[in-house]
Amino acid sequence: MKIEGEVRIPSGCAISAVISKEGKKMTGESIIKSMVPMHDRSNGLGGGFAAYGIYPEYKEFYAFHIFYNDNDSRVECEKLLKDRFEIVKAENIPIKKIKEITDVPLIWRYFVAPLASILSRLQLDEKEYVARTVMHINTNLKGAYVFSSGKNMGTFKAVGFPEDVGRFYRLDEYEAYSWTAHGRYPTNTPGWWGGAHPFALLDYSIVHNGEISSYDANRRYIEMFGYKCMLKTDTEVITYIADYLLRKQKLTLEETASVIAAPFWSTIQNKGPKEAEKLSFLRKIYPSLLITGPFSIILGFEGGLMALNDRLKLRSMVIGEKDDKVFIASEEAAIRVMEPNAKNIYAPSGGEPVIVKVKEGAF
């Protein structure tokens, strides 16, 4: 079978999320159910979930989730991991064999800590070291693909409909303070396990509905900073942009939103002088990170979520609330499945970020 990047299929998607501002834990059941009314937005070529706060007993360690084509690639990759990390646990990710999910690769999970001696020799901070290792494995090790690499979080994805993918990974057995979900209708690429959403690097994860038209401009820019876009799918580049702006450039979430969904110059003109100056500054510094074309995305990170539409709002996205929970989805129906009595249902404007954080100390 051809994988991502080898063939182009021109062709929508479904996204959904829930977060508890109190940091209360929820199993994956509810988020899986939310994808059912949006079934027809996907075509069975990809589904996935990101869950935050699921590995409290290993929260000091990076959790690597890796797909292997075969045992040889696992042996080779594990050799590399042993050279670079202390591996405190290595195991198969528990799955449930179901007829809807086929061509299952080897799916492994490792809890690792970077070797301190190497970090000091390379003079790198921990996160950069982990990110570089992920890039190295995904680019150079044939048959191995790291699809999750954050602390106390994990992504779970496969080729299939999201409801089935959720059952396959037994997500009802995990407890998270925030969940995101995606149902895929691949536009451009054939749909391989690694190409399903969420895309993740360190603790950042992205689920995305849309098809960005600035892909190559964004890719060329971001690859200057050590990121490698292997899969030719737009969501991958959005994930790296988020990591670059937030972790490396230390922008705030609001600033990041103003870069990737920058307002039109005509809109900036009508803002107050201080805000206009800031928005102009961001547009001028990061012109190549403006993302154009339709997107609605949910960015997951440690302790929160950010939802964002493209500035023209070419995709739907709805927000709702109930008690300590905030819900985000492509369709209101998905929110109503999670919480029939959700309040304050509204659709944010294009380019208007919705940022939800778990209260300090609760995650």
Partner 1 sequence: MEKTIEINAKELNFKDLNNKIREYEKNGTVKITDLTGQRFIASGMNNKKIELNGIPGNALGAYLTGAEITVNGNAQDAVGDTMNAGKIIIHGNIGDAAGYAMRGGEIYVKGDAGYRAGIHMKEYKEKKPVIIIGGKTGSFLGEYQAGGLIIVLGLTKNDKPLVGNFSSTGMHGGKLILRGKAENIKFPGQTTKRKATKEDLDEIKPYISNFCKYFNFNEKEMLSEEYTVITPNSANPYKQMYIAN
Q: Which tokens is 358 given? A: 């778990």
Does position 349 interact with partner 1 (CB under 8 A)? The reply is yes
- Binding to partner 1 by CB under 8 A, coded x per residue (else -) over 329-348, reads --xxxx-xx-------xxx-
Tokens coding 326: 């905030």
Q: Does 7 bind partner 1 (CB under 8 A)?
A: no
The window from 71-79, 193-201, 281-289, 309-317 that contacts partner 1 (CB under 8 A) reads: 309-317
Residue 356 binds partner 1, judged by CB under 8 A: no
Q: Confirm or reject binding of residue 316 to partner 1 (CB under 8 A).
A: yes
Q: Is 43 in the site for partner 1 (CB under 8 A)?
A: no
DSSP reduced 3-state for 257: helix
Contact 218, 28 (CB under 8 A): no
Q: How far is residue 136 CA from its own chain's centroid?
A: 19
318 binds partner 1 (CB under 8 A): yes
Look up 77 and say whether it is catalytic. no
Count of residues of this chain found to bind partner 1 when the rule CB under 8 A is applied = 22
Please list the alpha-helical segments (H only) found in the chain: 29-34, 71-84, 116-122, 126-140, 162-168, 215-222, 234-243, 253-260, 265-269, 273-285, 332-338
For every residue of 82-144, DSSP letters joined together read HHHEEEEEEEEPP----TTS-S--EEEEEEEEE-HHHHHHHT--HHHHHHHHHHHHHHHSTTE
Whose CA is closest to 52, among 167, 142, 180? 180
Helix and strand counts by DSSP (H, E) for the chain: 11, 18
Specify the residue, 201 or 337, whose C-beta has the smaller distance to partner 1.
337
- Tell me the C-alpha distance between 36 and 53, whole Å: 24
According to CB under 8 A, which one of 350, 356, 358, 363 is a site residue for partner 1? 350
Tell which one of 6, 29, 40, 70 touches partner 1 (CB under 8 A): 40
Are 165 and 22 in contact by the 8 Å Cβ rule? The answer is no
Closest to partner 1 by CB, 59 vs 271, is 271
Complex with partner 1: residue 164 or 332, whichever CB lies closer: 332
Q: Which among 76-84, 187-195, 211-219, 311-319 is the span making contact with partner 1, rule CB under 8 A? A: 311-319
As given in the structure block, the two tokens for residue 103 are 């061509």
Select which of 3, 4, 12, 13 is catalytic. Answer: 13
Residue whose CB is less far from partner 1, 195 or 350? 350
| Residues within window 229-268 making contact with partner 1, judged by CB under 8 A | 264, 267
Give the residue numbers marked as catalytic.
13
Interface positions with partner 1 (CB under 8 A): 36-38, 40, 264, 267, 270, 312-313, 316, 318, 331-334, 336-337, 345-347, 349-350
